[in-house]
Amino acid sequence: MGGGSSKKEGVVSRTKSKKTKEVHNLVLLGTGGAGKSTIFKAIKIAKKGGFTEHEREQHGIAIFRGLVKVMKGLLETVDESSDSAASVKAADLDALPEDTKQLREHLAAVWASDAIKAAFRENEGTENDPHEPSTRFIFKNFDRMNVAGFQSTDDDILQFRLPTTDFSTIDYDANDDVTLRFIDVGGQRKERIKWNSLPECTAVIFVAALNDYNKKLAEDATRNRLHESITLLRVLATKHFANTDIILFLNKRDLFEELIKTVDLKCCFMDYDGGCNYDPALKRIVEGFKKVCADGDLHVNVTCATDINQMDQTIQSMQEVVLKKLLNSFLDMS
C-alpha cells in the first residue's frame, strides 16, 4: 500500500515544487458510500471556489444517465406499453443521444405514470429500500433536472452520488510554503486494490458513516458496515499507515441523529447500554474507532458532508491540525 511517512523519524512526505512550496498528500480513505467524495467535493467548494460551468454540465449529464438507468429498471417491474416506455426501454446507456430532448420527453411521459411512481415509492425509507438516497434525490427534483443543458447546483453535486473508480486530486495552497493535495479514491473492496499505488501521504483522512451501524455492505450482505469500517481502520492504522497521522471523519451526523432515535446501537455493539440516545451512542462509536488505533492519537471530527457551512469550518480546523503537525515535525528535524 502507498505507505505513510515515517513520523517516528521526524520525516514527513514532501515533494519540492518548482519554487519552494512543498506538496503534502492527504488521502481520503474509508468504505464505499461513507462520504469520501462528498467531503472531497466540499473541499473543492470551500477552498477552490466550486465547480466550472463545464463540470456542472457534465454532472447534469451524469444525473440524466441516472434518471434513464433507474427508469429502465422501473420499467422492468411495471407493465407499461406506451411508445414512451418503449423508447426508454430501448435507450442505450452506453450511447445516450447528444440531443437529449426527445428522450427527456419520453422520460417525463413515463414518470407521469401512476404505476411507475408507485413502483418507485415502494419500500422508500425502509431497510429494504432498493434506491440510494441520491437516486431518491434526483427523482424528487425530476422536473428541474430533466431539462436539456441542465447544470447542477453545488447542492446537487453534493447530493448525487457517482461511485468513485479513479484517483482525483485537488491542490490547495494552505500557506506560502505548503500545498495540500487531497486525493479521493474508490472505497468498495474491489477498489481498494488501487490503494497500493497511492503516493506517500502526510495524513490519512479516514471517513466512516455514523448511520452505518445497522447496515450491511453492498458487496457482502452478511457484514455490518460499521464493523467493516472499524476493521479497515485497524488494518490501515497498524499496518499500512502505522506512522502516518490519521484524521477521523465520522460522517452523516444528520442521518445518525435521526436513526438513533429509533434504532438502538446495541444491534452493532452488544456491550452498549446507552439506549436510543445520541451522546452515549456517539461516544461508543468513537471508542470503537479509537481502540483500533495503536497510539490513540486520533483526531476525531463529527461531520455532515452535505452541509457546506459546517464543512467549511471542519476543513479549516483540519488544515490547522495538519499544518501544526508539519511545523512540529520540521522543528523535530532542526
Ligand X SMILES: Nc1nc2c(ncn2[C@@H]2O[C@H](COP(=O)(O)OP(=O)(O)O)[C@@H](O)[C@H]2O)c(=O)[nH]1
Alpha-carbon gap, residue 51 to 21, rounded angstroms? 25
Residue 164 engages Mg ion in binding (rule: CB under 5 A): yes
Alpha-carbon gap, residue 146 to 139, rounded angstroms? 9
Comparing C-alpha atoms, which of 171, 145, 170, 147 is closest to residue 157?
A: 145
Residue 285 engages ligand X in binding (rule: CB under 6 A): no
In the numeric block, the cell 447496515 is attached to 215
Q: Which is nearer to Mg ion, 28 or 210 (CB)?
A: 28
In whole angstroms, how far apart are CA 74 and each of 12, 77, 162? 52, 5, 20
List the one residue from 21, 36, 59, 240 that touches ligand X (CB under 6 A): 36
CB of 182 to ligand X, least distance (A): 13
- Pick the stretch among 29-37, 109-117, 282-290, 316-324 that binds ligand X (CB under 6 A): 29-37
Asked if residues 318 and 205 have their Cβ atoms less than 8 Å apart, the reply is: yes
Supply φ then ψ for residue 270, to 5 degrees: -60, -30
Helix (H) or strand (E) holding 25: strand 22-29
Take residue 243 and report the three cell numbers written for it. Answer: 506512522
33 binds, among ligand X, Mg ion, none (CB under 5 to 8 A by kind): ligand X
Tell me the CA end-to-end span of the chain in Å, nearest whole number: 29
- Pick the stretch among 1-9, 35-43, 90-98, 171-179 that binds Mg ion (CB under 5 A): 35-43
CB of 158 to Mg ion, least distance (A): 12
Q: Which is nearer to Mg ion, 58 or 113 (CB)?
A: 58
**For the window 190-229, what string marks contact with ligand X as x by the rule CB under 6 A?**
-----------------x----------------------
- From the CB of residue 112, how many other CB atoms can be counted at a distance below 10 Å? 11
251 binds, among Mg ion, ligand X, none (CB under 5 to 8 A by kind): ligand X
CB of 209 to Mg ion, least distance (A): 12
Alpha-carbon gap, residue 322 to 202, rounded angstroms? 8
CB of 234 to ligand X, least distance (A): 18
254 binds, among ligand X, Mg ion, none (CB under 5 to 8 A by kind): ligand X
- Pick the stretch among 4-12, 31-39, 75-83, 278-286 that binds ligand X (CB under 6 A): 31-39
**For the window 115-134, what string marks contact with ligand X as x by the rule CB under 6 A?**
------------------xx
Alpha-carbon gap, residue 331 to 334, rounded angstroms? 5
Where in 295-334 is the site for ligand X (CB under 6 A)?
304-306
Alpha-carbon gap, residue 63 to 139, rounded angstroms? 10
Residue 37 engages Mg ion in binding (rule: CB under 5 A): yes
- E strand segments, 48-177: 168-173
Residue 59 engages ligand X in binding (rule: CB under 6 A): no
* Helices 53-77 & 133-140 angle (0-180, nearest 10): 100
Residue 31 engages Mg ion in binding (rule: CB under 5 A): no
Q: Which is nearer to Mg ion, 164 or 301 (CB)?
A: 164
32 binds, among ligand X, Mg ion, none (CB under 5 to 8 A by kind): ligand X
Q: Which is nearer to Mg ion, 109 or 255 (CB)?
A: 255
Alpha-carbon gap, residue 232 to 219, rounded angstroms? 15
Comparing C-alpha atoms, which of 232, 226, 237, 209 is closest to residue 293?
A: 237
Alpha-carbon gap, residue 203 to 206, rounded angstroms? 9
Where do contacts with ligand X occur on this chain (CB under 6 A)? Answer: 30, 32-38, 133-134, 158-159, 161, 164, 187, 207, 251-252, 254-255, 304-306
Residues contributing to the site for Mg ion (CB under 5 A): 36-37, 164
